[in-house]
Amino acid sequence: MSLTVFGSVGRDDITTPAGSVEGVVGGSAVYFSLAASLFTKVRLAANVGNDFPEEAWDVLRQRGTDFS
């Protein structure tokens, strides 16, 4: 069994009193996919721009997410 996730994918810049990070992979589809991958195989469907860096997908690849 697998779960197909639809939602947003983007890159976030996060600033807190403890510091800041730029270019973190984010968006509702990313966060939900990561959580769901703890329990089942995940397929991700989202619109992503051509300039989205290939290495940004690594965090999802490591969890076995299918976005082919």
Query: How far is residue 24's CA from residue 21's CA, in Å, rounded to a whole number?
Result: 7
Query: How far is residue 11's CA from residue 44's CA, in Å, rounded to a whole number?
Result: 16
Q: Residue 51 has what pLDDT?
A: 81
Q: Residue 53 has what pLDDT?
A: 82
Taking the chain (68 residues) in consecutive chunks of 10 residues, what is each chunk's mean pLDDT? 94 95 91 96 92 84 91
Residue type, 28: S
Global pTM?
Answer: 0.79
Query: How far is residue 38's CA from residue 23's CA, in Å, rounded to a whole number?
Result: 24
Q: Domain map of the chain by residue range?
A: 2-61
